[in-house]
Structure 1
Amino acid sequence: MALKCPECGQVAHTRTSAYEAPSVKRTWYQCRNLDCSCTFTALESVERIIMKPGRPVATEAEVKSGTVRQPQTLGRYGSACSRRDRHAQP
Structure 2
Amino acid sequence: MALKCPECGTTAHTRTSSYESATVKRTWYQCTNLDCSCTFTALESVEKIIMKPQKPAESEPAAEPLSAARQPQTLGRYGDACTRRDRHAQP
* Structure 1 unmatched runs, 5+: 68-90
Query: Deviation of residue 13 (structure 1)?
Result: 0.0
Structure 2 CA distance for aligned equivalents of residues 35 and 65 of structure 1: 65
* Structure 2 unmatched runs, 5+: 65-91
Cα deviations by residue, 1:15-46 (Å, 9 ceiling, x for unpaired): 00000000000000000000000000000000
Supply the AA of the counterpart residue of 2:41: T
Query: Deviation of residue 49 (structure 1)?
Result: 0.1
Asked if 1:16 is matched to 2:13, the reply is no
Q: TM-score, normalised by structure 1?
A: 0.67
Deviant stretches of 4+, over 6 Å:
none
Query: Deviation of residue 58 (structure 1)?
Result: 2.4
CA RMSD of aligned residues (A): 1.4
Structure 2 CA distance for aligned equivalents of residues 65 and 21 of structure 1: 39
Quote the residue 1:73 is aligned against.
none
What is the percent sequence identity of the aligned residues?
Answer: 72
Q: TM-score, normalised by structure 2?
A: 0.67
Q: Classify the secondary structure of the residue corresponding to 1:65.
A: coil
Asked if 1:65 is matched to 2:62, the reply is yes
Quote the residue 1:46 is aligned against.
46
Asked if 1:5 is matched to 2:2, the reply is no
Asked if 1:37 is matched to 2:34, the reply is no
Higher CA-based Rg: 2
